């Protein structure tokens, strides 16, 4: 018996890397799948149908049903078509995993409007498109059958760049931090019908090696006994768990996973304050007190980020 027996999932960007590993992990748990991938990978321009088709065959070989979809998540109506395809083929849809992504890294003074728009469109709008259509579907089922309780699962994908910021990725980081906040808000709106959670992978993929060559050495790290820390298969079980009934009480959370470790995050929080005896500050008072009081002994902006010691227990 698998944790996802009888479930149907749609995974976007599932032709390679993390999405493929998520599909395989869920297939091993008995989940039938719609494998969405345009086949263009990180450039999101060309199409190569065999990328999605090959993952479909891998999933079928694990004993589940699977079909391919080659449409772009950017298109609102085609995103709806992905859900319709799942329901037409399998009779229902239980799980949506928003994983599709691209990169257009550039320092802000060199970034073009097209590069900014493309990344926001795939990551943030693409996540909205699939989530919106899934929300309508889950809500409709829930209203038809009030005995159903948070039966749907939506799993969105953010990144370290969105949590901590990374020079050259203002477009990508803005989209990913937006996805994390989007998740928290939508989780409250859909609480009666579905859980909505966010995952933050750190894994070796084309986006973290081919498109970011300086990361290749770091992403190849292994422990002394040979454990491949950043292999994308290490991350996939978290998504399979969140997609299952065992995670029915987990909602509106942001999880980060690397290797054998999983973190749970909380968002923006105040770390220090100054006050002025119930009188508005003047600019002059702020000039005197912000640097000398408010900005002293603050935690690091990257507090909570995984360190080498965290990963390797050195």
DSSP 43: G
Pairing of strands 261-265, 254-258: antiparallel
What's the N-to-C CA distance of the chain in angstroms? 38
DSSP 198: E
Q: Give the up-direction half-sphere exposure of residue 84: CA atoms within 13 A in the CB hemisphere.
A: 7
Q: Token digits for 175?
A: 């989209």
Name, in order, each residue with C-beta under 8 angstroms of 114's C-beta and a sequence gap of 6 or more: none
Q: Token digits for 251?
A: 């909602």
CB 5 within 8 A of CB 240: no
Say if residue 74 is exposed, middle or buried (CB neighbours under 10 Å; 0-12, 13-18, 19+): buried
Q: Token digits for 59?
A: 């999933």
Residue with tokens 């000398």: 292
Q: Token digits for 6?
A: 């009888």
For residues 1 and 91, what is the distance between their CA atoms, to the nearest angstrom? 21
- Name the residues annotated as catalytic: 159, 172, 176
For residues 314 and 309, what is the distance between their CA atoms, to the nearest angstrom? 5
For residues 181 and 294, what is the distance between their CA atoms, to the nearest angstrom? 26
For residue 234, give the 3-state DSSP assignment. helix
């Amino acid at each position: 018996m698998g944790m996802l027996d009888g479930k149907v999932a749609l995974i976007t960007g599932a032709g390679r890397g993390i999405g493929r590993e998520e599909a395989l992990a869920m297939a091993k748990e008995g989940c039938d799948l719609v494998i969405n991938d345009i086949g263009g990978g990180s450039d999101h321009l060309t199409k190569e149908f065999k990328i999605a088709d090959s993952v479909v065959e891998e999933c079928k070989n694990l004993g589940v049903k699977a079909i391919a979809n080659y449409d772009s998540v950017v298109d609102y109506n085609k995103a709806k078509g992905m859900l319709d395809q799942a329901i037409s083929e399998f009779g229902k849809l239980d799980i949506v995993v928003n994983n599709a992504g691209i990169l257009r890294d550039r320092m802000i003074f060199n970034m073009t409007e097209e590069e900014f728009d493309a990344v926001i469109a795939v990551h943030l709008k693409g996540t909205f498109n699939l989530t919106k259509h899934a929300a309508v579907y889950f809500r409709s089922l829930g209203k038809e059958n009030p005995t159903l309780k948070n039966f749907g699962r939506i799993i969105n994908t953010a990144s370290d760049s969105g949590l901590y910021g990374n020079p050259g990725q203002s477009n990508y980081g803005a989209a990913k931090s937006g996805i994390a906040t989007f998740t928290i808000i939508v989780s409250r709106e859909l609480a009666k019908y579905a859980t909505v959670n966010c995952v933050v992978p750190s894994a070796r993929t084309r986006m973290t090696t081919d498109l970011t060559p300086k990361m290749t050495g770091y992403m190849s790290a292994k422990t002394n006994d040979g454990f491949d820390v950043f292999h994308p298969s290490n991350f996939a079980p978290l998504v399979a768990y969140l997609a299952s009934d065992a995670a029915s009480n987990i909602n509106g959370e942001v999880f980060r996973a690397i290797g054998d470790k999983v973190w749970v995050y909380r968002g923006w929080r105040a770390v220090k304050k100054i006050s002025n005896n119930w009188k508005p500050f003047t600019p002059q008072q702020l000039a005197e007190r912000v640097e000398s009081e408010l900005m002293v002994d603050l935690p690091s902006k990257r507090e909570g980020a995984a360190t080498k010691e965290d990963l390797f227990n050195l």
